[in-house]
Amino acid sequence: MPIAVQRPPLLVADRWRDYQLVDCGDGMKQERWGPYTLVRPDPQVLWPRTGAEPGARWEHWDGLYHRGETGGGRWEFRRPLPEHWEIRYDALGLTFKIRPTSFKHTGLFPEQAVNWDWIDSAVRSAGREVSVLNLFGYTGAATCAAARAGASVCHVDASEGMVKWCRENAALCGLRDSPIRFIADDCLRFVRREVKRGRRYDAVVMDPPTYGRGSTGEMWRLEDNLWDLLQECRALLSDRPLFFLINAYTARLSPTVVANLLAQLLGDRHGAIAAGEVGLPIHRDGKVLPCGIYGRWEAPRGAA
């Protein structure tokens, strides 16, 4: 008789059609990205593959990422793949460019679909114009979700290449003419300038890294800079803020820490705080792969 496993509450991105987490084991994950199957390392996959010999080579893949012994790695392809292709998140009508990069990523974190759904619902239910600030915005999936729901968005990332990718994703989503500002800049420095300019936003989304560098070499350290950034963002909130979302992929933060940060930051405002993990369902055996954490503050629906 199978053992019932009790898991902590988490949000599972299970509304995909073009993406599927096929299998996991031995430190690797097998994923279907539209017509192509990729196998990549994942540090959370500590269990062995079901029904496979230890160290057995993966089958049924188009691209496999080999991690280097001293960092980095390389892709091995069984057949020629296009430089990039597209997948669609039908639940919200969003289309994204996928490209295997030299640092194993593809330009999209599919587990974040649970947050795109939430952003879409929050913006649409507001019943008014909503402005969103997306910091460390990467290739802009959250930006596209917010804009698709009707928000104006300011998208900020230190990498000009990621900002360009966000522009491409916005165009693929039919948002070429939507009110999106694309900014390549250090996030903390940009936010401080926005405070001085007197700008205000109804919602903030951020995905702060453990370490990073700004567009002109500024050093970002999570432990040293996160609280300063949160305080500056607090000063940017409008008189009727809608939500504040923190995503993280670093072991330096836990859901409880993120919830505590939001409570300290926004405890004087009416609203609710939730924190937990985001994950993806594993098709082969029904497990869930944890992929990161989130913390959300949201104003009462109907009162914003």
As a whole number of angstroms, the distance between CA 31 and CA 133 comes to: 31
As annotated, the residues of the chain forming the CATH 3.40.50.150 domain(s) are 105-298
Residue with tokens 């497990």: 287
Tell me where in the chain the CATH 2.60.40.1180 domain(s) lie: 10-83
Which two tokens mark 141? 């999936």
Extended strands (E) in the chain: 10-12, 19-25, 28-33, 36-41, 63-67, 73-77, 85-89, 94-98, 131-135, 152-157, 180-184, 203-206, 211-213, 219-221, 243-248, 272-281, 288-298
How much is the pLDDT for 303? 61
- DSSP label at residue 130: -
Burial class of residue 112 in the structure, from the number of CB atoms within 10 Å of its CB (0-12 exposed, 13-18 middle, 19+ buried)? buried
Q: For position 301, what pLDDT does the model report?
A: 83
Which pLDDT score, from 0 to 100, does residue 213 have?
76
The tens digit of pLDDT for each residue in 54-86 reads: 778 899 999 999 998 777 899 999 999 999 999
**Per residue of the chain (304 residues), what is the pLDDT tens digit?**
344 444 457 999 999 999 999 999 999 999 999 999 999 999 999 999 988 887 788 999 999 999 987 778 999 999 999 999 999 999 999 999 999 999 999 999 999 999 999 999 999 999 999 999 999 999 999 999 999 999 999 999 999 999 999 999 999 999 999 999 999 999 999 999 999 999 999 999 999 999 887 667 778 789 889 999 999 999 999 999 999 999 999 878 899 999 999 999 998 898 999 999 999 999 999 999 999 999 999 999 876 4
Task: Assign a CATH topology to domain 10-83.
Answer: Immunoglobulin-like (2.60.40)
CATH superfamily for 105-298 is Vaccinia Virus protein VP39 (3.40.50.150)
How many Å apart are CA 275 and CA 297, to the nearest integer? 9
Task: Give the pair of three-digit tokens for residue 13.
Answer: 């991105």
Q: What is the pLDDT of residue 66?
A: 95
